[in-house]
Chains A and B, each alone.
Chain A
C-alpha cells in the first residue's frame, strides 16, 4: 500500500512540475493575429518619411485588450496609413524592459515607445544612454523620470474626463431605471485609477444627484478573482452598474456584473466585445496617442523633454461603444463632452 501510494506521489509530482514548466507561455497567442492586418494593408501608399518605430509592451502581453493592444493598434494604424516600419517586442518580466529597449535603440530605431508607467525607470536608463533616439512613454510624465532625459516624451491622459463621461451615462441610466447605487472597483489607489473613479463619481452625482456610489480597491491588476469578489459584494449592497478600473483583474468585476444581470463599464480600451451588458467603456485612446506621436517623429515636430496630454478636447479620452440600453442618452453625453472640452466643468481627480 505504502509503496503504491508513494509511486503515485512521484508521478503526481512530475506531472505538477511538468505543468509548471509548460504553463508559462500561454499569454501571447494573439500576437500573430495582431500583426496580421499589416499584410492586408501593405498596399496603402506610404505618405511620409520612412521611419522605424519600436514598441515595447509591459508584461501584460499583447492580448490584454487594453494598453498593450491599443498601443499596438496605434502602431498598426501608423504602419498602414503612414508607411512607417514597426516592430513590437513583448516583455515577459520586469527585467526584460532594459534589454528590450536597448535592442531597439542599438538598431537605431527612430521612435521607441514604452507602454506603461512600469517601464519608467528602464526608459530613463536607456534613453540617457542613447540620446540620439526618440522615446515616448505612455502614462508617465517626462519630468518624473530620474534624469529627465530630453529625448523622452510623456504621453498622459485625463482619466477624470473619461470617468466623468462614463459616470454621466451611468447616472442617467440609473435615474431612469430606478437604480440607486453604482460602484467602481479600482486596482490600486494611484493617480490614474483615482482619476477615473473621481470623475465617475462626480459625473454620476451630477446626472443623478441622489445616487449612492461605492468604491473598493483590489490591490491587484491581474487576479480576476479578487475584483470579482469585490464587485459581487458591491452588487449585494445594491449596485446596479459596476465600473472596473483594474486592468485584467477588473475583467472579474465585469464578470460579476454579467453573472448577476447587472451592467458593467469597461476601462482603458473599448470592452464592448464582452457582451451587451457592457454599458460603455471609459477609454484612453492610446492608439491615437501612439499614432500622433509617430506622426510627429515623421514630420520632425517631435518634442522630447515634454509631456503631451490627451483629453476630451483632443479626443484622446472618451467613451467607447455605448450599448443599446444606453443609446437614448448618447446625445446628452455628447453635450457633456462638448462642455468638458470647453473647460466648463470642473472635474475632481482625487477620490474623497
Chain B
C-alpha cells in the first residue's frame, strides 16, 4: 500500500475486486451450470406435458443443423439448411449480446439493444433500398456504417442523459426502444414517408437493391442461405475483445464499471465514459440490425419491428456469456440454435407440439435470465450496500487510507 493504487486492483478487498473475481472464477462453470439447469427444468416441463424430454431435445438438436458438423451422422441437405438458419440467427445475437455486455462491463444496463437494433435496421433499409447506382461493395459498406452509426447515436442519447442529468439508463433505454419502435411503424406504416413504392396496402419498406445485399457463401441466396455477415460478427468479436481488454477506452470503461468514484479519483472522466460506452454499444446493436436487413430480411415491415425480440434476447446472451467476448459468442450460438431448433417447421408434431416448443424456448430463456441475473443482482446489491456503509462510516478512515 505504499503507492495509491486504484481499488480495482485489490481483488477481494473491494466490491470491484469481488465483481471481477466473480466474473473470472465463475467464468466457465456457472454459465454452463446455468444453462444445464435451465434445460433440466425445461425438460421437466416437457415431461409434464406427457412427452419424452430426451426425444424432444433430440428433435431440437436435429432442428439446429449442428449435426451437419458431424458428417457421418444422418442426412445432409436438411441439416445444412438448418445450420445456415442457426448461424443466420446467431449473427445478430452475437452483436446485440456485445451491445449489452460492453455496457454491463462499464456498470450500465443497456436494455435498449432492441431499439438500437431497430434504428440500425431502419437506416440500413433506407440506405440499401435507395441509391441504386452506387457500386455494390460501397453501397453495402455505407449501409452497414450508417446503420451502426444510427444505433450508436440512439444509445448515445441514453449515455448523454446519464452523464449530464443522471437519468438512469435502464429507464431511458427502455423508453428509447418504444420511440424507435413507433418511429419505424410510422415510417413504413400505411402512408408513411418511407412506405414501399409498389404496394400502398402493405406497411413495409422498399426492398434492398440486389447489389446491396450481403453475398451468400453457403446455400441458396434466394432461399435464405448463410450470408457473410457472420464473419463481420466474428470480426467484431475480436474488436470487442481488444477494445475491452487492450485499449484505453476499454480500461476506462471497466474502471468505471468497478467503481465510478475510484475511476473519477484516478482521473477518468466518468460522464464521458458513459457516453462513449453507450455509443459503442449502440454501434454493435445498430450493426446487427443493418446486417439482418442486408443479409437476409431485405425489407422491414411494421409488424417485424413490433414483433422483434432479438435485442431483448441479447440481454440473456450477454448474461449467460458473462459479458466476455468468447462467452457472448458461444452463448449467442446456443440461443441461435435454440431458436432454430424449436422452430415450428422442424419439429415433428408427434415428438413435441411445435406450438409448445416455441414457448419452451421462452421458458429456457427466462430461466437463464433469472438464474444469471439473480446472482448478478446479488453482487450488485451487495455493492450498493457496501457503498452506503462506507458513506455512513466517518470520512477519516477513507482519508487515512488514501494518505497511507
Min Cβ gap A100→B in Å is 5
Structural contact, A10 and B377, CB atoms closer than 8 A = yes
Task: Judge whether A178 is part of the interface by a CB distance below 8 angstroms.
Answer: no
- Interface-located stretch among B122-130, B142-150, B341-349, B396-404: B341-349
Structural contact, A3 and B384, CB atoms closer than 8 A = yes
Contact A21 B111, CB 8 Å, known A95-B296, A103-B346: no
Contact A28 B358, CB 8 Å, known A9-B171, A21-B309: yes
Contact A106 B353, CB 8 Å, known A18-B366, A25-B359, A188-B201: no
Mark each residue of chain B from 296 to 335: 1 if its CB lies under 8 Å from any CB of chain A, else 0.
1101010110011100110110000000000000000000
User: From residue 51 to 81 of chain B, which have CB atoms closer than 8 A to chain A?
Assistant: 77-78, 81
Structural contact, B111 and A106, CB atoms closer than 8 A = no
Min Cβ gap B200→A in Å is 8
- Interface-located stretch among B208-216, B217-225, B233-241: B217-225
Residues on A with beta carbons closer than 8 Å to the beta carbon of B111: 13, 16-17
Q: Dominant SS at the A interface?
A: helix
Q: Count the B residues whose beta carbon is within 8 Å of the partner chain — how many?
A: 58
A-B contact count (CB 8 A): 139
Q: Dominant SS at the B interface?
A: helix
Contact A90 B171, CB 8 Å, known A99-B85, A106-B81: no
Residues on A with beta carbons closer than 8 Å to the beta carbon of B201: 188-191
Task: Judge whether B174 is part of the interface by a CB distance below 8 angstroms.
Answer: yes
Min Cβ gap A45→B in Å is 22
Query: Once bound together, how far apart are the Cα atoms of A59 and B384, in whole Å?
Result: 45
Task: Judge whether A94 is part of the interface by a CB distance below 8 angstroms.
Answer: yes
Structural contact, A21 and B168, CB atoms closer than 8 A = no
Residues on B with beta carbons closer than 8 Å to the beta carbon of A3: 384, 387-388
Residues on B with beta carbons closer than 8 Å to the beta carbon of A87: 349
Mark each residue of chain B from 342 to 378: 1 if its CB lies under 8 Å from any CB of chain A, else 0.
0011100100011110110111011001100100010
Q: Count the A residues whose beta carbon is within 8 Å of the partner chain — how many?
A: 51
Residues on B with beta carbons closer than 8 Å to the beta carbon of A7: 381, 384
Min Cβ gap A184→B in Å is 17
Query: Once bound together, how far apart are the Cα atoms of A14 and B111, in whole Å?
Result: 8
Structural contact, B355 and A98, CB atoms closer than 8 A = no
Residues on B with beta carbons closer than 8 Å to the beta carbon of A106: 77-78, 81
Task: Judge whether A22 is part of the interface by a CB distance below 8 angstroms.
Answer: yes
Structural contact, A17 and B384, CB atoms closer than 8 A = no
Contact A20 B307, CB 8 Å, known A9-B171, A219-B190: no
Task: Judge whether A89 is part of the interface by a CB distance below 8 angstroms.
Answer: yes
Structural contact, B174 and A25, CB atoms closer than 8 A = no
Structural contact, A118 and B349, CB atoms closer than 8 A = no
Query: Once bound together, how far apart are the Cα atoms of A67 and B177, in whole Å?
Result: 31
Interchain CB contact (< 8 A) of B362 among A13, A22, A103: A22
Query: Once bound together, how far apart are the Cα atoms of A26 and B366, in whole Å?
Result: 14
Structural contact, B170 and A20, CB atoms closer than 8 A = no
Task: Judge whether B230 is part of the interface by a CB distance below 8 angstroms.
Answer: no
Residues on B with beta carbons closer than 8 Å to the beta carbon of A99: 81, 85, 223-224, 345
Interchain CB contact (< 8 A) of A21 among B308, B353, B369: B369
Query: Once bound together, how far apart are the Cα atoms of A10 and B204, in whole Å?
Result: 35
Residues on A with beta carbons closer than 8 Å to the beta carbon of B171: 9, 12-13
Structural contact, B309 and A32, CB atoms closer than 8 A = no
Structural contact, A94 and B304, CB atoms closer than 8 A = yes
Min Cβ gap A34→B in Å is 9
- The residue of chain A having its C-beta at the shortest distance from the C-beta of B220 within the complex is A129
Structural contact, B387 and A13, CB atoms closer than 8 A = no
User: From residue 1 to 53 of chain A, which have CB atoms closer than 8 A to chain B?
Assistant: 3, 6-7, 9-14, 16-18, 20-22, 24-26, 28-32, 35
Structural contact, A90 and B190, CB atoms closer than 8 A = no
Mark each residue of chain B from 94 to 127: 1 if its CB lies under 8 Å from any CB of chain A, else 0.
0000000000000001010010000000000000
Q: Which residues of B contact A (CB under 8 A)?
A: 77-78, 81, 85, 109, 111, 114, 168, 170-171, 174, 189-191, 201-202, 204, 220, 222-224, 296-297, 299, 301, 303-304, 307-309, 312-313, 315-316, 344-346, 349, 353-356, 358-359, 361-363, 365-366, 369-370, 373, 377, 380-381, 384, 387-388
7 examples of A-B residue contacts, CB within 8 angstroms? A14-B369, A16-B111, A21-B362, A89-B345, A95-B224, A96-B345, A222-B303
